């Protein structure tokens, strides 16, 4: 048997340190079209926890779950790309990822999401968190960074630049979304185990 050698930068980074950031997860044109489409969608205030209560002190984004049959052709292309990633993660890291749930998110100017973990306390099936950004020409001074805590004192700030994908283990990495001076669009998703 030959040992599997992975050349995929996502699985490489994820395997070595538990989180990954890559640019160009989807072609720029697809990202731009997804963003354009997202602006026309009817999103709803996102809730918190399993019971999905609305709490302005915790999060201020508006979301739409990407669930068939209402996913658009563009969203389908994006979900197909995530399906490729699921297969790669299962092949290279033997994670047994079973399904993917995701939503489009819009953070209006000033909205934030306080420091949190993505795994639910009871019944956690979320193994890997993914966030794909849809914002063109994002500048540092626009704010809206994802602050990813690497341990109790160090963190990384990642700008929500269109096409950038951030991936991390859902039960290990605390993170927060800083308020932005621009509307901020993303697709957040979770690879889940079978439960």
Residues that bind Mn ion (CB under 5 A): 118
Residue 102 contact partner, candidates ligand OGA, Mn ion, none, CB within 5 to 8 A by sort of partner:
none
CB 189 within 8 A of CB 78: no
Of 85 and 134, the one with the shorter C-beta distance to ligand OGA is 134
Q: Residue 148 interacts with ligand OGA (CB under 6 A)? A: no
Q: In a 3-state reduction of DSSP, which class is residue 106?
A: strand
Q: Residue 188 interacts with ligand OGA (CB under 6 A)? A: yes
- Taking residues 88 to 117 in sequence order and writing x for each that binds ligand OGA by CB under 6 A, - otherwise, the string is -----------------x-------x----
Q: How far is the CB of 176 from ligand OGA (least distance, A)?
A: 7
CB 116 within 8 A of CB 80: no
Q: How far is the CB of 181 from Mn ion (least distance, A)?
A: 21
**CA 112 to CA 119: how far, in whole Å?**
19
The per-type count for the chain, helices as H runs and strands as E runs, is: 3, 11
Q: Residue 175 interacts with ligand OGA (CB under 6 A)? A: yes
Strand-pair partners of 158: 146
Residues 6+ apart with CB under 8 A from 100: 79, 82, 83, 86, 189, 190, 191, 192
Retrieve residue 108's tokens: 């209006």
Of 92 and 127, the one with the shorter C-beta distance to ligand OGA is 127
Residue 146 contact partner, candidates ligand OGA, Mn ion, none, CB within 5 to 8 A by sort of partner:
ligand OGA
Write out the residues near ligand OGA by the rule CB under 6 A. Answer: 105, 113, 118, 131, 146, 175, 177, 186, 188
């Amino acid at each position: 048997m030959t040992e599997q050698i992975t050349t995929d930068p996502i699985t490489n980074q994820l395997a070595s340190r538990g989180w990954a950031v890559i640019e160009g997860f989807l072609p720029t044109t697809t990202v731009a079209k997804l963003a354009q489409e997202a602006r026309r969608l009817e999103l709803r205030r996102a809730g918190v926890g399993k019971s999905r209560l609305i709490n302005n002190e915790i999060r201020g984004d508006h979301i739409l779950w990407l669930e068939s049959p209402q996913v658009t052709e563009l969203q389908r292309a994006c979900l197909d790309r995530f399906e490729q990633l699921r297969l790669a993660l299962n092949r290279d890291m033997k994670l047994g990822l079973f399904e993917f749930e995701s939503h489009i998110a819009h953070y209006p100017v000033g909205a934030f999401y306080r420091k949190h973990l993505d795994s639910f306390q009871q019944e956690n099936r979320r193994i890997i968190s993914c966030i794909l950004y849809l914002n063109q020409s994002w500048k540092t001074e626009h704010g809206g960074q994802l602050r990813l805590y690497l341990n109790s004192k160090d963190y990384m700030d990642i700008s929500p630049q269109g096409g950038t994908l951030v991936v991390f283990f859902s039960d290990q990495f605390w993170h927060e979304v800083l308020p932005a001076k621009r509307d901020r669009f993303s697709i957040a998703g979770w690879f889940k185990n079978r439960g």
